[in-house]
Structure 1
């Protein structure tokens, strides 16, 4: 699911990535017609560097929405790190690196509220009433939770894992976001947020009968899910991703080791040939071409030619982003100031929402 900062001119800088096309959906059309009527909540857990899956899955959408004029909140979900691991390792470092990735890809702190989860106490207080609205059975059968448990690095799964979707619901609903740019794998979590919003509104209506929370809608990118180099889900924690901050040699090595298949002719068939098709799609996204065109061009030259094409496309596309990121990394004080300013804004919004929640619940 779950936004970012840089100098005010960064979003228009040559180093900024051009946002990819959004899918043609009713929600997207409504946003285009009236961007000021919508609020986005998005973000990431600080468990490592952002990678190409994040970039094409949601980062491009964030930049595009920002440019349209949609109000945006970006949460660095540091508390959520301990849902699936025993320790929150190198948390401060990972948090600052996330901000660098955000800024380098074009997020502008003048137009987006970037903050850490732990810096907004009122946000976390919302999770308690929200938990009362969701059953244990609903939480335990959430497919994203099941997947996270299967890949957990904990010695034993803790209770926070089952509250993870509700934690994310609090992230989304504290600022009353109605749009959440997500990858396909996060849709079950967003459905929990929609359920929480509906049940809260039904149980605790305002005096005029209206609901306090909107039901947030997902906004999927044109490439909601890229496979990792091992053919599985691309993930920061699984060592199968090309990070945005990786150098060109590391990128080449990782792509060279990517899984393909035994068929020499390169084609684009995501169902029958998922690993090859994911690489073809990655090159196409970087070159702003169709995957069919890329596959036809490579033809009978095999997987080695495919990987060379992908490596060149990725490094060319990321070069200005990486240059911008290196410039930003030289001023860590600016990164921290972005987080301070974001926390101040997020706290004001969260405290106002919590006050209204207490009022409709009659707990004031």
Structure 2
């Protein structure tokens, strides 16, 4: 079986540099090598929030971000979760293969629950990993570019595929995770970089917005800048961010700054990030919202054809 890449995002806000170095850069590299599906998981927005917000606006922004980083709709199929009813039909047989105890042990779900805006944990949130399994397996995805925090979901997807095959016959491949250049980039407050926690630099941020965010980043009072992830995690994180954007080792950046202190560090990182984002910002301006809607309509049609074929195979295997 030829490899197929499946990846995607929830439309809950603008994509940021953590996404880029954790997963997005891999997608751009892989699109010339493998067939690829990019899922905009709009139904999954309501897993951890009572009100979804302006999903239409978020979907458009997400698609424009995809185009800005260099994803080519002639090479990849960009689709929307809610446009694929067959995908959701896969949830029933998949849920029958997973125990409540196994879902409750998922560390990513635990973390999402801890940061949820909901008063109580919904059944949708609890079964979130199985939704992701359906996202991956509807197109028989074999390669999944993810950040480190998503690895437990890939393991559960492999378990679902394995159990389905053992019970009903060989239908699904076992997907593999593909890690990005920097699997987990910390946020500017020292925690996980997240669009929902306000500590991330969006790919669509202006130069002034980027500068303001980096000015507020946590550092420490030591004048000499050194790269020490254990003793000085905030300083190390800024050096890492500058390193990724410049393509230079973080230790070399620290030596260049020397006794310049936090102000010089932030100045260097601001210049590095803005220079890195400049071509991305330019490509984003070249596309319109009408472009985004047309690309999504075409992608939805192609993805649904694939989903229908997979669901037919599942029904035949289960003798439904």
For normalisation by structure 1, the TM-score amounts to: 0.86
Residue in 1 that maps onto 2:270: 311
Residue in 1 that maps onto 2:20: 55
1:6-31 Cα distance to aligned partner (Å, 9 max, x none): xxxxxxxxxxxxxxxxxxxxxxxxxx
Residue in 1 that maps onto 2:75: 111
Q: How many Å apart are 1:135 and its aligned residue? A: 0.6
Residue in 2 that maps onto 1:153: 117
Q: How far apart are the structure 1 equivalents of 2:106 and 2:221? A: 36
Residue in 2 that maps onto 1:275: 234
1:143-173 Cα distance to aligned partner (Å, 9 max, x none): 0000000000112221111110000000001
Residue in 2 that maps onto 1:355: 312
- What is the aligned counterpart of 2:201 among 236, 242, 248? 242
Residue in 2 that maps onto 1:33: none
**Residue 177 (structure 1) aligned with residue 116 (structure 2):** no
Q: How far apart are the structure 1 equivalents of 2:101 and 2:268? A: 47
Residue correspondence of structure 1 range 164-203 to structure 2 within 5 A? 164-203=128-167
Residue in 1 that maps onto 2:257: 298
- The secondary structure found in structure 1 opposite 2:173 is coil
Residue in 2 that maps onto 1:136: 100
- What is the aligned counterpart of 2:30 among 44, 62, 65? 65
- What is the aligned counterpart of 2:171 among 212, 217, 222? 212
- What is the aligned counterpart of 1:255 among 202, 205, 214? 214
Q: How many Å apart are 1:302 and its aligned residue? A: 1.2
**Residue 341 (structure 1) aligned with residue 305 (structure 2):** no
Residue in 1 that maps onto 2:10: 45
Unaligned runs of 5+ in 2: none
Residue in 2 that maps onto 1:7: none
Q: How far apart are the structure 1 equivalents of 2:299 and 2:206? A: 30
Which consecutive aligned stretches of 4+ in structure 1 deviate over 3 angstroms post-superposition? none
- What is the aligned counterpart of 1:99 among 63, 67, 70? 63
**Residue 323 (structure 1) aligned with residue 282 (structure 2):** yes
Q: How far apart are the structure 2 equivalents of 1:63 and 1:264? A: 39
Q: How many Å apart are 1:273 and its aligned residue? A: 2.1
Q: How many Å apart are 1:327 and its aligned residue? A: 2.0
For normalisation by structure 2, the TM-score amounts to: 0.98
